[in-house]
Structure 1
Amino acid sequence: MSSPATVKSIAIPPGTAIHAAVSGAQFFDAYEVADRHPARTALQTWLDVVARTPRWTQQLMALRNRLVRLVGLKDLGQLHDTHPLASGRIPSDASSYRVGDRVGIFLIRHLSDTEVVLGQDDKHLDVQVSLSKHCRGDAPATLAVSTVVHIHNALGQAYMAVVTPFHRRIVRAMLQRLADHGQR
């Protein structure tokens, strides 16, 4: 059995589509873990990540959705929600999706085999999340989840002040679950 994969904090990977969004952002972070399935596309890996969303994360999202409606923010639903594609069909697999389709709480902004950028914008803040896959020579394959947030006003700043510690814990937990699942 291979050693357990460790999630580590990294800089947003240069050369990724999301890297261009960092300029002017008030918040950004990235985490990396070994990629146990490097042949899977970035979107398939994202779908694997959100399919393993811990129950406590789902409960936090439900609480978030109830509370933010009180201050005029969007109820986003859950990370793993399935929505009809632009064609009206329910997606059957990652290859069914196109730029502009909804995946859980996000819209696909960029889609390639090695990176998917998903986003959600409102009048308070714009959020982008990327899952990118990396193979560097003889080094083991890795995947990175990067987040970039552009804040527009005081409500957006207050929101980020509250959710940032949860965001960091959630991303780490989801990547760790994915890595641990890949060992089995």
Structure 2
Amino acid sequence: MSENKMETGKKRRGEPVRQRVIDAAERLLRDGRAEFSMRDLACEAGVSFATPFNQFGSKPAIMHALSARRIDAMLTRLDASPQPPHAADRVAIAVDIAVAVMLDEPIVNRAVMAWIGTGSVASGEVRSNSTALWAQALGDGAGLTSLRRDEVCRILPAQLALAFRGALSFWTAGELADEELGPAARQIADTLLRAYSCD
């Protein structure tokens, strides 16, 4: 066995099992295998057949974990981005970041969105995770109406999460092309923000 293969094998065995399963799911999706079985997943991850079930419980739960990974990537990029003082500018940056994350791997991300968009007993935290992203972008709401700023900062993140999810749903269904996702997401965010902006 070559030294590189030995290093890769050691690295894979040393990875946390949950991470290995998630990484394997991403690889299968990347290869266009959205209908993979849990047996396929276990084989790809190099774990026993029972391991994906023990770690996640079901395939929909794995897809929710992949969605959380995307939102974590959005939050990480948002943390590292410039933070202009006006909330609307920060939201615009967050929209661009969220769209970029989704377009980094459209095949994988469309598959994840399709899975989490179907009804299942697996409950995820997609809505709360997404709302947290938009709350971080809004910050203290600087530049929004000061009359109800506390209320705005409490309500608007969830509205932005719903709006972005709507744009992603049309993108997932193929009704928005990749190049249309950003403008559509920006337009709906701008519409929501205008309702709360100072004159």
Q: Is the TM value for this pair above 0.5? A: no
* Structure having greater relative contact order (Cα 8 Å, sep ≥ 6): 1
Task: Judging by fraction of residues, say which structure has more helix.
Answer: 2
TM-score by length of 2: 0.23
TM-score by length of 1: 0.25
